[in-house]
């Protein structure tokens, strides 16, 4: 996702937590005494924000139990839900919000883009790992004539 957003080399902290942990953070930082699916804590904000290589951009905290409930309700895989939430959290770190209907439309579209980018990346990585070339297995490649 970071590569798709052209944020190569930046640091991002991701924590997968339980409902009690995210509930405590939600209460402490947002004033809501209930679990939520994702929280994002940006280290730098504002219009002048520009991600710089080798610098942290913030923390994304995901509740796995909440994500699991949402995935079940939406009839989708837990990994798909977590991927969506991670993209959503990253966008918050970069200054996106969904306080208005217009912002929500933009954020949903950008989140969907990040989900697709993650799926494409995962497939290409899985293919390269599961089907090593002959050269990588230490055998010479057969030359076809």
Residue 38: helix, strand or coil by DSSP? strand
Instruction: Please say if the pLDDT value at position 50 is more than 80.
Output: no
**91, two tokens:** 């966008």
* Residue-range domain boundaries for the chain: 11-127
Instruction: Please say if the pLDDT value at position 48 is more than 60.
Output: no
Q: What digits encode the pLDDT tens for the residues 109-135?
A: 999 999 999 988 777 766 655 555 444
CATH number of the domain at 11-127, please? 3.40.390.30
Tell which wins on pLDDT, 3 or 83: 83
Q: pTM for the complete prediction?
A: 0.79
Q: How far is CA 76 from CA 9, 24, 69, 72, 82, in A?
A: 31, 27, 10, 6, 10
The alpha carbon of 108 is separated from its chain's Cα centroid by a whole number of angstroms, namely 13
Confidence grade of residue 8 (pLDDT, cut at 50, 70, 90): confident
**105, two tokens:** 């439309």
Q: What digits encode the pLDDT tens for the residues 65-76?
A: 999 999 999 999
Question: Which pLDDT value is given to residue 108?
Answer: 96
Distance (Å, whole) CA 145 – CA 104: 57
**59, two tokens:** 């923390």
Question: Which pLDDT value is given to residue 141?
Answer: 39
CB 118 within 8 A of CB 126: no
Contacts (Cβ under 8 Å, ≥6 apart) of 40: 58, 59, 60, 61, 88, 89, 90, 92, 93
Q: What digits encode the pLDDT tens for the residues 10-47?
A: 889 999 999 999 999 999 999 999 999 999 999 876 55
């Amino acid at each position: 996702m970071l590569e798709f957003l052209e944020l190569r080399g930046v640091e991002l902290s991701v924590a997968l937590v339980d409902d009690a942990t995210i509930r405590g953070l939600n209460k402490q930082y947002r004033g809501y005494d209930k679990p939520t699916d994702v929280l994002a804590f940006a280290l730098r904000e504002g219009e002048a924000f520009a991600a710089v290589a080798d610098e942290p951009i913030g923390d994304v905290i995901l509740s796995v139990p909440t994500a699991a409930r949402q995935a079940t309700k939406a009839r989708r895989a837990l990994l798909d839900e977590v991927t969506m939430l991670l993209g959503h959290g990253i966008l918050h770190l970069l200054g996106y919000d969904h306080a208005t209907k217009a912002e929500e439309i933009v954020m949903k579209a950008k989140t969907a883009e990040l989900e697709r980018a993650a799926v494409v990346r995962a497939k290409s990585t899985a293919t390269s790992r599961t089907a090593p070339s002959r050269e990588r297995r230490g055998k010479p490649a057969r030359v076809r004539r």
